[in-house]
Structure 1
């Protein structure tokens, strides 16, 4: 079995939309306009490809993204720099293969050279114990709860500290070049929308 994590391609958005809306009650629905907006603006939007088939996706955003999610805004009010995992979906035939951990390892690799915190939320109503346990074993801890406006469901707001970031900040972002090395795995994905304004180098 060959697994690859890569940036989504525009012609795959209909497939992503179908996966999202078949995922169940813990994943909020999308429409064509919303998934296209993610494609244009999300800093991290990658799919898992298993033997040539799209098996899932993960979307994550930086702190200055123009995004109106109540959970994203909760973090923005409290953290100067972070990557926020908006959603992760794995298609039913591919669950149990460890793709969630593969995605989170990749998202952590993206985040830890840019920000000190990786964040997300899990539903408590209905309680998703599989997701709660997964995040707890992956180093996340609860930093708050809220009732999502317009949805009426309680969520647990989670954060994971990224200790590698301090080294990257001091050596590169606040170093002589003020940027990461020019390596493919460190590059930002190309986006159609305007780039989000960034805080000073080092993200703090």
Structure 2
């Protein structure tokens, strides 16, 4: 059976936290309160599940989120409208099977009916050519670099233009909004937040 991609549920957070903190040097460790904050502010927070086991997750948010990440703030200061991929983690035994691409295609389908850009960052220290190459093959281009804090790692700030957005904006967003269908609705949890 293939993994199912679905919205995260509150009871998934312990498993998400464990997966995140076992992610290695390419992902920042977090704690329960910070993960809870991400859960509360994320416009997109989906998990991959197979046989009741989480295989990975991806968290993303719109430019209006209240988030103190220096990388997110960099994008806020440079772009008016975007979806920011904060983190993606795939369980070690599930890596190399295309699950990262599935998540990126899914978040792109979420983003391209809402914003013109999909953004993220990759660590340049320690160097991870596989991650840089993955993002390049997914259409991302470097738009900047920065050091995370005084002693944090250097990151490459990446953006991907979403070519479908102008059509969606002209056809729907400028004329009453998106059709009211399930697959276009945003994360319900995110919509009811303040």
| TM-score interval, smaller chain | over 0.9
Structure-to-structure mapping, 1:66-81, within 5 angstroms: 66-81=66-81
Moved over 6 A (4+): none
**Structure 1 stretch displaced more, 11-20 or 44-53:** 44-53
CA-CA distance at 1:150 after TM superposition: 5.1
Give the deviation of 1:97 after TM superposition. Answer: 1.3
- Which residue pairs with 2:37 in the alignment? 37
Q: Tell me what 1:185 maps to.
A: 183
Please tell me whether the aligned partners of residues 43 and 190 of structure 2 are also in contact (alpha carbons under 8 angstroms): no
- 1:28-67 paired onto structure 2 within 5 Å: 28-67=28-67
Instruction: Measure the CA separation in 1 of the matches of 2:152 and 2:31.
Output: 20
| Change in 2 beyond 3 A, CA 1:17/1:193 | farther
Separation of aligned partners in 1, 2:6 and 2:187: 10
User: 1:151 deviation in Å?
Assistant: 4.7
The more displaced of 85-94 and 146-155 is: 146-155
Partners of 1:82 and 1:116 within 8 A in 2: yes
Which residue of structure 2 aligns with residue 172 of structure 1? 172
Q: CA deviation at 1:52?
A: 3.1
Closer, same or farther: CA 151–56 of 1 in aligned 2, 3 Å = farther
Give TM-score, length-normalised by structure 1. Answer: 0.91
Aligned equivalent of 1:111: 111
Q: Distance in 2 between the 1:94 and 1:115 partners?
A: 30
Displacement of 1:128 after TM fit?
1.1
Preserved contact between residue 122 and residue 131 of structure 1 (Cα < 8 Å): yes
1:1-40 matches, within 5 Å, as 1-40=1-40
Q: Which runs of 5+ in 2 are unaligned?
A: none
Counterpart contact for 1:40–1:193, Cα < 8 Å = no
Q: 5+ unaligned residues in a row in structure 1: which ranges?
A: 197-204
Count of aligned pairs between the two proteins: 194
State whether residues 55 and 90 of structure 2, in contact with CA within 8 Å, keep that contact through their aligned partners in structure 1: yes
Alpha-carbon shift at residue 192 of structure 1 (Å): 6.6
- What is the rounded CA distance, in whole Å, between the counterparts of 1:92 and 1:55 in structure 2? 9
8 Å CA contact retained: 1:2, 1:51: no
Are the aligned partners of 1:82 and 1:115 in contact in 2 as well (CA < 8 Å)?
yes
Query: 1:199 matched to which residue of 2?
Result: none
Residues 67 and 163 (structure 1 numbering): CA distance in 2 closer, same or farther, change over 3 Å? same
